[in-house]
Amino acid sequence: MSEENAKTLIWHAQTADAALQALDATPAGLGSEQALARLVSYGPNLLPSPKPRSAWLRFLAQFNNVLVLVLLGAGAVTLLLGHYVDTGVIVGVTILNALIGLIQEGKAEAALEAIRSMLTPGASVLRDGQRQQIDAADLVPGDIVLLAEGDRVPADLRLFELKNLRIEESTLTGEAMPVEKSLAPVSSDSVPGDRLCMAFSGTLVVYGQGRGVVVATGLATELGQISAMLARVEEIDTPMLRKMGEFSKLLTIAIGALTLAIFVGGVGLGSYGWDEMFMVAVGISIAAIPEGLPAIVTITLAIGVQRMAQRNAIVRRLPAVETLGSVTVICTDKTGTLTRNEMSVQRVATREHLFEVGGVGYGPEGGIQLDGQNIAPSEYAVLSELALAGLLCNDAQVNQQAEGWRLQGDPTEGALCTLAMKTGLQHASEDTRAPRRDVLPFAAEHRFMATAHDSAIYLKGAPEAVLARCSLQRSLAGDGPLDVAYWENQNEALAAQGLRVLALACRSVPTVGASEAGDPGVDGGTESPASLAPTKAVCGLSVESLGTDFVLLGLVGIIDPPREEAKRAVAQCRTAGIRVKMITGDHAITARAIGEQLGLGAQTLTGVEIEAMSDAQLQAAVKDTDIFARASPAHKLRLVEALQAGGEVVAMTGDGVNDAPALKRASVGVAMGQKGTEVAKEAAEMVLTDDNFASISHAVEEGRTVYENIRKSILYILPTNGGEVGAILVAMLLGWQMPIMPVQILWVNMVTEVTLSLSLAFLPAVAGSMLRPPRDPAEPLLSAFLGWRVLVVTCLMTAAALILFQWELQAGSSLATARTVAVNMVVMGEIAYLLNCRDLERSVLSLEGIFGNKPAWIGIAIVMVLQLAFTYLPWLQSWFGTADVSLAAWGRIALGGLAILLLVEAEKALMARLRKRG
């Protein structure tokens, strides 16, 4: 078969022999020359790694902001006019903004390096008929790869030989449990999680051995196809960036139109010369531009990043902080995020009883209940023997370490060890009392495991496989005929709850001395006295020798239970109006069971159903469905796009390579830091260091706080700029001299305004922030209510500055002194209004309201020192054109500030009454 035809084959639908033939390969492997020729043809078995951005490029990226560009434009104007101090201040601020963003991104990258771990595997292959260890990059299609426990699969393989092979594929498919591999081909349209005859690049062998022929390398692997899909996904702007961009454009247009109108009007009326009007226009444009806003937004986001880091969330890109606050839907993985990633026995069914097992994790905490009442396991002989069978027919170990209980081995077997400990059994003592003499390992062909001990053989496995080996069942009355219908009903009932069901059985082995004397055993037989060692050892276990005369002990139902904190977090999100949707590679029944425990409902869509839907049908379906099972990477990406098409702001969590395209497309991608792959982390905006859904809920709360604080900062900054513009505009219309010079405006905007508004970034979450629904993504940055507040405060600032400016001139003060008073009045108005802004709707006229924000008073103290220097230091007087101010003038300035504080509070009260009436 030609190379091109081989590339297009659906390998999982081919027999192993057909795959070998198509690749012109044999089980003995390729020859060295043949492998070298294919390496030249196919290329190395590598995925293209993204080139990291240099610090220089990341620094330049910080200037990709409309407000920053407007600010640089203002700097260019001042430079042309020869106002070098103004230019220096503007350039300094823009560089400071860029450095803050650069440093913060660098901190996030450094934090990620501490939790990243990537294996670059070698590969064990057959070449020239000999086993060799080569670099995985040198693998080519047709190579024969040998797999053993602990290996990471180096390429996509079509398996042709295996022994009890189980592979953990969660990073690729989302499947929670290791997959038992088989050799039979599967349907051509099966999803990767159902392709049992394949081993995929990047997955991990957890048990057994196998051999496979390489059918795909590099970008042709499932991993590579996801990488290519990731490259095609377009990122979308965050809501804040879109709104800030729109706001900045509108503000720029408004400032330009106002400046041009004033210049043309002033010159056209003949009252002013063009050169004088040009300076007035420059003053108005500088006054109107909120030069400090980019710095405030950046710093507020950076503070949010630091707060999130304290709550186990590392943010890689600053805008993601605010976006979390506007999230309307969280799409989350199941295993390890909503669940503990620790299997636990929750139900035990015997012939007479259905026991409920409490506790989660691998520690022996949690009791056993029957009919809602705690019981002593030792009083139930069948339960005790079932627990013993699960402990001895087991290759796992659960040990207590300094950091808690830790599992060594298969998670399902670990759950059985924990069940035994909850019944009072200990692994070490039982192994000593009943040492293992032989074992028949679990295999996909027979679907059970058996171990032989001196007095018994224990059997554990899939219910249908174990039932076929049983003729009796254990009960309180002793052993009796097997009631197949009863056990099939129990199996179906447990499986319907999303539990993984295992059956356990035993068969007694007669020993020398057993017939002389002994205590009756739990199975009604006899045991040899402890002083008399058995002389018959059981060995040579095989499928054929087991027979069909086992005694069924019962069934156990096992599941990876939801985290308790995840349950609370999901409930909190729902209270906050945020929909939580679980998207997993697990089977629908398991996903539904976990979803119901989390309060997500029962409606479920599978990957096959998603595949059959059009985009319009999927958009309608995602509105009412919260559980999606057996989802492939393409399905996850479609789900995110369908939600976004419906106007939702989507956060997507994930840990595997299969999650990366959806993580990149989502409004906020959230990767897992502990078990997440490098690809997932690179695609995401945020990384959780504890892999816990509850941390996402905390991050959403912090995001809402950040947005609210940014909004307060904008609402705080605009009236100051408006007051300066208003003062200049009114003075011009009345024929007065300019009350504030451009360089003085820059001092106010860049020094005092920024210093004071920084305190708003430290405000804590507003009470009840997670009791409100998410804000409408279409909501403008400034609502009508906030626009009204800006207008009111602008008028108050304008009036206060002009009144005191004219007061000083009428009193005979110099123009420099009058301007200095006007500037200080604007700053005092800023201080008063800062106290108002602690709460935008409720009164702050209380001790807590006025003095409760410590950062605000620190900022006020700093600004007062700066203003005294601005007013009285000779070298600053020469720079900014200021003059000494009398104590009486300071008194009038203080009264003006108090008036602004009280009038804004009166406006709040009036608006509150109007809202109640409305």
Of 721, 874, 735, 855, residue with least CA distance to 801: 721
Catalytic residue among 156, 333, 454, 691: 333
Task: Give residue 112's pLDDT band: very low, low, confident or very high (50, 70, 90).
Answer: very low
Which pair of tokens denotes residue 610? 């998603």
Where does the pLDDT of residue 81 fall: very low under 50, low under 70, confident under 90, or very high at 90 and above?
A: low
Arithmetic mean of pLDDT, 636-649: 91
Residue 830, token pair as written in the block: 């800023």
- HEC string of 613-676 equals CCHHHHHHHHHHCCEEECCCHHHHHHHHHHHHHCCCCEEEEECCHHHHHHHHHCCEEEEECCCC
* Model pLDDT, residue 403: 73
List CB contacts of 344: < 8 A, sequence separation 6 or more.
357, 359, 360, 361, 415, 418, 558, 559, 560, 561
What per-residue string of b and e applies to 664-680 under the rule 16 or more CB within 10 Å gives b? bbbbbbbbbbebbbbbb
Compute the CA torsion angle 477, 478, 480, 485 (nearest 10 deg): 60
Provide the pLDDT for residue 513. 43
**If pLDDT is split at 50, 70 and 90, which confidence band does 275 have?**
low
C-beta neighbour count of 151 within 10 angstroms = 21
- Residue 6 has a pLDDT of 56
Structure tokens at 872: 């009285």
Quick one: average pLDDT of 226-235? 70
β-pair partners for 198: 158
Q: pLDDT-derived band of residue 524, with 50, 70 and 90 as boundaries?
A: very low
More confident residue, 452 or 246: 452
Encode pLDDT of 474-487 as tens digits: 998 889 999 999 99
DSSP E strand stretches across 402-543? 404-408, 438-440, 448-452, 456-461, 470-475, 478-481, 500-508
pLDDT in tens, 259-272: 777 777 766 655 56
């201040």: which residue's tokens?
89
Sign, CA dihedral 782-289-75-706, equals negative
pLDDT digits (tens, 9 = 90+) for 819-864: 999 999 999 999 999 999 888 888 888 888 888 888 899 999 999 9
What distance in Å separates the CA atoms of residue 635 and residue 661, rounded to the nearest whole number?
Answer: 10
Amino acid, res. 237: D
pLDDT at 216 over 80: yes
Q: Is 691 a catalytic residue?
A: no
Structure-model confidence comparison of residues 666 and 244, the more confident one? 666
State both tokens at 178: 């290791």
Average pLDDT over residues 902-914: 91
Number of neighbouring beta carbons within 10 Å of residue 786: 17
* Whole-structure pTM value: 0.68
- From 752, 744, 745, select the one nearest 725 (Cα to Cα): 745
Residue 792 has pLDDT above 90, yes or no: yes
Q: Which of 702, 719, 798, 802 is nearest to 756 (CA)?
A: 719
Q: Among the listed ranges 9-18, 299-308, 334-343, 673-682, which one has the minimum average pLDDT value? A: 673-682
Q: Tell whether the model's pLDDT for residue 76 goes beyond 90.
A: no
**DSSP secondary structure code for residue 129 in this structure:** T
Provide the pLDDT for residue 3. 52
Give, rounded to a whole angstrom, the gap between the first and last alpha carbons of the chain: 78
Query: Hunting for tokens 């400046």 — which residue is that?
Result: 259
Q: Is pLDDT of 529 > 50? A: no
| pLDDT score of 504 more than 90 | yes
Strands 329-332 and 579-583: parallel
Model confidence over 114-128: pLDDT tens digits? Answer: 333 333 468 899 998
pLDDT over 60 at 410, yes or no:
yes
Q: Cα–Cα distance between 259 and 729 in angstroms, integer?
A: 10
Which pair of tokens denotes residue 206?
Answer: 């957890």
Alpha-carbon span 632 to 639, nearest angstrom = 11
Residue 313 CA to residue 115 CA, distance in Å, equals 12
d(CA 297, CA 96): 13
Nearest to 73 by CA among 98, 59, 94, 57: 94
Most confident of 395-409, 552-566, 685-699, 717-731: 552-566
String of DSSP letters for 64-100: --HHHHHHHHHHHHHHHTT-HHHHHHHHHHHHHHHHH
Contacts of 44 (CB under 8 A, 6+ apart): 137, 138, 217, 218
Per-residue model confidence (pLDDT) at position 807: 95
- How does residue 745 score in pLDDT terms, banded at 50, 70 and 90? confident
Q: What Rg value do the Cα atoms of the chain yield, rounded?
A: 36
Phi, psi of 473 (to 5 degrees): -135, 145
* Overall average pLDDT of the 502-514 stretch: 78
Between 528 and 61, the more confident residue is: 61
**Residue 30 DSSP one-character state:** B
Rounded to an integer, what distance in angstroms lies between the CA atom of residue 730 and that of residue 740? 12
Predicted confidence at residue 774, as pLDDT, reads 81
* Contact of 507 with 456, CB cutoff 8 Å: yes
pLDDT at residue number 742: 75
Look up residue 135 and give its DSSP letter: E
Name the region of 834 (left: φ>0; alpha: ψ -120 to 50; beta: rest). alpha
Give the mean pLDDT of the chain. Answer: 82
Percent of all residues in the chain with a pLDDT value above 90, rounded to a whole number: 35
Is 530 a residue whose pLDDT tops 60? no
Q: Which two tokens stand for residue 493?
A: 């009932």
What distance lies between CA 901 and its chain's CA centroid? 42
Structure confidence at residue 629 (pLDDT): 87
Say how far apart CA 387 and CA 522 lie, in whole Å. 13
Query: What would the pLDDT profile of 694-739 be if each residue is shown by its tens digit?
Result: 888 888 888 888 888 888 888 888 887 788 888 888 887 787 888 9
* C-alpha span between 442 and 447 (Å, rounded): 6
Decide if 650 contacts 640 (C-beta within 8 A): yes
> Mean of the pLDDT values across residues 302-322?
79
Q: Please give the pLDDT value at position 689.
A: 84
Contacts 24+ apart (CB under 8 A), 133-138: 136/45, 137/44, 137/45, 137/46, 138/35, 138/39, 138/44, 138/45
| Residue 160: CA count within 13 A, CB half-sphere | 24
